[in-house]
Amino acid sequence: MGLFITFEGSEGCGKSFQSKVLYNKLYDLGIQVELIYEPGGTVLGNEMRRLLKKRREDDVVPETELFLFAACRAQLVAEIIQPSLQKGKIVICDRFTDSTIAYQGYGRGIQLATIETINCIATKGIKPNLTILLDLPVAQGLSRKKTKNRDRFEKAELSFHYRVREGYQKLAAAEPERWMVIDATLSKTEISNIIWDRVSQLLDLLHINYTTP
């Protein structure tokens, strides 16, 4: 089995940037690595991504959101995550099941036990080995996003974003061996160094050889 690393965090925390930095480092070392993101990452998933993010007049009820995210995930797991891990690759995913717990659970108020059941069906039980949380105060994160053309999530009321951040912090505290929490107000270089320290330790544990970048 390979190594599965996920990035999580609220709006504007910088996880897409940091997941690319990690991908590039691993790739440059000649390590077999895949970088994917949620929602999306497959043809069908990208179609659903558009539906989920689009600003719209009609209401999307939380349960619909939950099933759409889970549907994207099921496709991504079957098409990319499971086969890549079986080939021994490192898979980096920008958001995964914890996003659903934070956003649809803590944010929208769906019962956490329900979400866990649905997540488990979508992932076939696959869990990340390491989850990196880039933790950032809500106001700071939102101010990093452009004000024009905000998507449905970026436009949600402030209290929703506070609940999401708090949800992540609770998840990380409940499972400290899987989560690594990083202060996302640090500089980009400091953050990528912290991540690399941890990931290189994991590579050593798995006996994956590399030369220091």
Q: Return residues touching ligand TYD (CB under 6 A).
A: 11, 16, 38-39, 53, 69, 95, 99-100, 103-104, 153
Supply the minimum distance, in Å, between the C-beta of residue 35 and ligand TYD: 13
Smallest gap from residue 184 Cβ to ligand TYD (A): 12
**What amino acid occupies position 21?**
V
Instruction: Choose between 27 and 67: whose C-beta lies nearer to ligand TYD.
Output: 67
What is the distance between the alpha carbons of residues 16 and 2, in angstroms, rounded to a whole number?
21
Residue 134 vs 199, nearer CB to ligand TYD: 134
Structural contact between residues 193 and 124, judged by C-beta atoms closer than 8 angstroms: no
In 3D space, the residue among 5, 40, 2, 45 whose CA is nearest the CA of residue 21 turns out to be: 5
CB of 11 to ligand TYD, least distance (A): 5
Q: Which amino acid type is present at position 27?
A: Y
The sign of the torsion formed by the CA atoms of 171, 63, 163, 99 equals: positive
Angstrom distance (rounded) from CA 26 to CA 2: 13
Please report how close the Cβ of residue 121 comes to ligand TYD at its closest, in angstroms: 14
Looking at the Cβ atoms of 34 and 38, the one nearer to ligand TYD is 38
Shorter beta-carbon distance to ligand TYD: residue 27 or 153: 153
